[in-house]
Amino acid sequence: MKGLASEDRPREKLLRLGPASLGDNELLAVVLGSGVRARNSLAVANGVLDAAGGLHGLMRSGWDDLRRVPGVGAARAAQVLAALELGRRTLVRRPAAREPIKSPRDLALMLLPQFGSKAVEHFGVVMLDTKQHVLRIRVLSVGTLDASLVHPREVFREAASASAASIVLFHNHPSGDPTPSHDDVLLTRRLATAGEIMGIPVYDHLVLGDESYVSLRESAVR
């Protein structure tokens, strides 16, 4: 990497001082591995972060977004996405290793790293046993959430197959704002009514933002 002293190059700096010593652009440069003609890896990394609007925006970027950045292309875009997904997975502990879910916050801390920064809406169900342990998490819909497309049959088929005692609904808002919409409230009421009939109560519905959430149960808008 011409223009930088060897000890200041991202990879050498990481080996010498550890990953915590690197800035966001330097860590990304290490992931990219190398640059292209007239642009070293640090310059390419800066271009990626500028295009994404920073590290937080990078978490919401897709393959098409990344590969359009000069110097990235298809292969490097895949490297970046793989690194981001590994980071997400380190934040999500295996449900079996968790304590029982005692509050909406417990469940939100499990779901936010995986779904909070998604660029499109993901609607899913968390299935709980009688002691509030997580049995299974299933995504049932990807794309714009439409109450008419989320059928109780699909939700409670999954719950019954897991022998769930209760369920928690969740979905993310790609805008980053977890404020529930009117449709979110209507969907919750519709599925809660179905749950009463099925004998599998809907314990809550969590709306996930980038770094925060709203529990419809805690908000008393169910």
**Over the stretch 40-85, which tens digit does the pLDDT of each residue have?**
888 999 999 999 888 878 887 888 889 889 889 888 889 998 988 8
* 23 against 222, higher pLDDT: 23
**What digits encode the pLDDT tens for the residues 107-152?**
999 899 889 888 889 999 999 999 999 999 999 988 865 554 678 9
DSSP 117-179: T-SS-EEEEEEE-TTS-EEEEEEEEESS--TTTS-HHHHHHHHHHTT-SEEEEEEE-TTS--P
Rg of the chain taking only CA atoms, in angstroms: 21
> Please, what are the domains in the chain?
6-91 (1.10.150), 95-219 (3.40.140.10)
Distance CA 4, CA 76 (A): 22
Q: What is the mean pLDDT of residues 162-188?
A: 93
Instruction: Say what the pTM is.
Output: 0.68
Judge whether residue 200 has pLDDT over 70.
Answer: yes
Distances (CA, A) of 162 to 96, 166, 210: 14, 10, 29
Residue 163's pLDDT band (cuts 50, 70, 90):
very high
Q: What is the mean pLDDT of residues 178-202?
A: 94
Tell me, what's the pLDDT at 146?
57
% pLDDT > 70, the chain: 89
Q: What mean pLDDT value characterizes the chain? A: 86
Of the candidate ranges 13-17, 35-39, 218-222, the one whose mean pLDDT is the lowest? 218-222
Q: Where are the alpha helices (DSSP H) in the chain?
A: 10-17, 24-32, 41-52, 55-58, 63-67, 73-91, 104-115, 152-161, 182-198, 216-219
Tell me, what's the pLDDT at 50?
92
Of the candidate ranges 25-34, 87-96, 157-166, the one whose mean pLDDT is the lowest? 87-96
Tell me, what's the pLDDT at 92?
64
Residue 93's pLDDT band (cuts 50, 70, 90):
low
* 85 against 179, higher pLDDT: 179
